[in-house]
Homo-oligomer: A and B are copies of this chain.
């Protein structure tokens, strides 16, 4: 089901057992966990220095191996970027849809969306940043595929907004498309500046942004003034 199987090296798929190497690290392949370590190291590096400026030597170095050894696990550098984008988008869409499942109240659906998106995107900051910013470095065919997945997820957001409008909970003088864009702006940008451990955690930030999006910044009688 995942696009990963299309990309992971056949050599790695064929091999099996797990054992330790002389540098004390577990081997990278043979189990899902090894591949995940590779992907998350790549995402961290890509976010920090950009995909194109990231070298296979530095990535390998962060995993304690030589760059040539990477090519046992992947076909080429771009595969890593592609998997990061696809996995990130598939995961957030799946998680959001799962959490929305039993919820009927239109405003509560928005709050759940904001909360799940924020916590997921910030938990996987490196992946999400890389997906949003470095997507352009993919070859045309793969870029189209990732764009498609992104559009699918944006449709989920737009539908939650539209439902709010038809239920009468959300203002209708602005089209769902633009409300959804505004909401996505609010949700996506924190991965540019959020630093874990600084005052607010992801959950609190989600609450805050849900409140700002729903209620606005205007002072209103009856709101606590802190």
Interface residues of A (CB under 8 A from B): 48-53, 107, 110, 132-134, 136-137, 161, 164-165, 168-174, 178-179, 181-186, 188-190, 192-193, 200, 205, 208-209, 211-220, 223-226
Across the interface, A215 reaches (CB within 8 A) one of B172, B189, B216, namely B216
Distance from A154 Cβ to chain B, minimum over Cβ atoms (Å): 9
Query: Top 3 nearest A-B pairs by Cβ distance?
Result: A216-B216, A185-B189, A52-B53
Does the CB pair A213–B219 fall under 8 Å? no
Sampled A-B contacts (21; CB under 8 Å): A50-B50, A50-B51, A52-B52, A110-B217, A168-B219, A171-B218, A171-B220, A173-B223, A173-B224, A174-B208, A174-B211, A178-B208, A181-B190, A182-B186, A182-B209, A185-B185, A185-B186, A186-B186, A213-B216, A214-B216, A216-B216
- List chain B residues, Cβ under 8 A from A186: 182, 185-186
Distance from A143 Cβ to chain B, minimum over Cβ atoms (Å): 12
- List chain B residues, Cβ under 8 A from A226: 172-173
Does the CB pair A136–B182 fall under 8 Å? no
- List chain B residues, Cβ under 8 A from A185: 185-186, 188-190
> In the bound complex, what is the Cα–Cα distance between A164 and B48 (angstroms)?
36
